[in-house]
Amino acid sequence: MTSAKPTWESIRHNSQCLLKPARYILDSLRQSGDAALVQRGMPRMLLIKCPCGCGDTLVINLDQRLGHAWRMYSRDQSLTLFPSYWRDDGCKSHFILWKNRIYWCDWDDDSIWVNSNDIEKRVLEALPHQYINYEKLAEQLQEIPWDVLQACHALTRKALAEMNHSRRKGEFRRIAKPASKAGQLLED
Ligand SMILES: [Zn+2]
């Protein structure tokens, strides 16, 4: 890697991932973050001009029959990939594509992720008292895993949920409601 990786600050205002017409694919990918979806009956691959600015085109497999594949969510005219994309050669970019935005994975304050109250409410309602992995919960709710993960973090900050620190990452549970005052009085 010859140039320094852009910091979040320098890229946050132009880190949209824009889907270009796939007809003349390589021609249409001009700027960092330009993307083209290759479909043959179903989404086969996503090509992205690397958002780091190195100029390489990333080929992201979406076809599970060809081995490791990313899941792509296309909702409200925005693109999301799950899990994160980690390039182990070249520029070593590691990022999350969530709702057309690139989030670099070396940047770990999650407070900028914008969540709707609606998803937080749904996640809280569905969150069991036993730990559950957020991906599994997302599957149950038919939601994008990143949305559910961010909702879990937000609920944790509000002390309505907690993360499992002792085991695998990515597990959350609803915090048991504190005993009612009446119950406490009885125990006292
Ligand atoms: Zn790159």
What's residue 44's pLDDT?
A: 87
Ion ligand 1 contact residues with beta carbon within 5 A: 50, 52, 54, 91, 93
pLDDT one-digit tens code per residue, 1-12:
333 343 333 333
For ligand 1, the distance from its centroid to the CA atom of residue 89, given in whole angstroms, is: 9
Residue-range domains of the chain with CATH: 8-108 (no CATH), 112-174 (1.10.10.10)
pLDDT one-digit tens code per residue, 68-94:
999 999 887 788 899 999 998 999 888
CB < 8 Å & 24+ apart, contacts of 152-158: 152/123, 152/127, 153/110, 153/113, 154/115, 154/120, 155/120, 155/123, 155/124, 155/127
For ligand 1, the distance from its centroid to the CA atom of residue 146, given in whole angstroms, is: 22
Contact criterion met (CB below 8 Å) for 96 and 113: no
For ligand 1, the distance from its centroid to the CA atom of residue 108, given in whole angstroms, is: 19
For ligand 1, the distance from its centroid to the CA atom of residue 140, given in whole angstroms, is: 34
pLDDT one-digit tens code per residue, 97-156:
888 888 887 655 555 566 778 999 999 999 999 999 999 999 999 999 999 998 998 999
